[in-house]
Amino acid sequence: MTPPILRRLTDLRALTSEWHQNGEVVGVVPTMGALHQGHLSLAQAARADCDRVIVTIFVNPRQFNNPEDLAKYPRTEIEDAEKLAPYGVDAIYVPDPDQIYPEGFSTTVTVSGLTDVMEGPFRPGHFEGVATVVAKLFLQTRADRAYFGEKDYQQLLVVRRMARDLDIQIEVIGCPTIREPSGLAMSSRNLMLSREGLNIAAKKSGIMRALAAELANGQAFAPLAQKAKAELIDAGFTEVEYIDLRCADSLEELPRASRPARLFITAWADGVRLIDNIPVTPV
Ligand code: PAF
């Protein structure tokens, strides 16, 4: 059965109040829809851990710094609800825009430090949009646990820090990236790739894995990153925005993987910006 769709905060609150009164643990999976196996794996994780599961779908205009990107973002609500049917989700919260940003809304949540690097400079205002909407979704759902994919690793750290700094009582749980058989990280943006674009995009994970393996052996990052960049361009990527090796907790830049690290690659193929990352564990 497809889960019920709620569009108003009062309806959501009526449901969650009852759950909380019964002492039930509530999990939330925030999404922007266009659900794929990655999102469904988050719903599955929430289902396994919690008594109640809410999936939210809201294409948040405040996190898009490019209006074209917002206009192109896929909107597939009916299919999304059908996809969630087998996952035992209790409710899908698809707030009307005024439930998130009522007239006169004038608050922005800024997380500094973690947002100064990688996606931050390339997407001005993005993380403020994310932190603001996620803070609202946490407070509106009053969930006990929230599930985010590690594909958006920087977002996961930003959201965790935001919840901690604002004393929002929620546990932010990171779940592994789900990949296509080709290794391509699942993303709603993959829907925008042509067949040729998909072939190019699929080559990124192999290049990233090879680089991660060399880094795990303790080799210096800078020359290897240059080599990987050339390989990406050879594979058909039109632009490589960044290849970074960073500390897995603080996102501090590392010259080599001397402690648990994360390798991040963001590049454009077929007019689509594709982000990905993997852990690098020194051997
Ligand atoms: O990762 C996403 O889909 C979005 O950034 C999120 C967390 C749902 C906030 O709009």
Instruction: Enumerate the domain spans of the chain.
Output: 5-175, 188-277
Class of domain 188-277: alpha beta
Confidence grade of residue 1 (pLDDT, cut at 50, 70, 90): confident
User: Residue 128 belongs to what H/E stretch?
Assistant: helix 126-141
Cβ neighbours of 14 (radius 10 Å): 11
pTM above 0.85?
Answer: yes
Atom 3 of ligand 1, nearest CA residue: 31
The number of the ligand 1 atom at minimal distance from the alpha carbon of 32 is 3
pLDDT at 278 over 90: yes
pLDDT at 74 over 90: no
State the CATH class of domain 5-175. Answer: alpha beta
| Span from the CA of 183 to the centroid of ligand 1 (angstroms) | 22
Q: 117, 251 in Cβ contact below 8 A?
A: yes
Q: What is the pLDDT of residue 188?
A: 87
State the pLDDT at residue 65. 87
Q: Which residues are catalytic?
A: 39
Percent of the chain residues topping a pLDDT of 70: 100
CA of 31 to the centre of ligand 1 (A): 5
pLDDT at residue 72, as a whole number? 86
pLDDT tens-place string over residues 94-140: 999 999 999 999 999 999 999 999 999 999 999 999 999 999 999 99
Q: What is the pLDDT of residue 172?
A: 98
Q: Reduce the DSSP state of residue 92 to 3 states and report it.
A: strand
What distance in Å separates the CA atoms of residue 100 and residue 135, rounded to the nearest whole number? Answer: 10
What residues are in contact with ligand 1 under a 6 Å CB criterion? 30-32, 60, 63, 130, 133-134, 152, 155
Mean pLDDT of all residues belonging to the chain: 97
What is the SS3 assignment for 123?
coil
- Residue entry with tokens 């609150």: 13
**pLDDT exceeds 90 at position 17:** yes
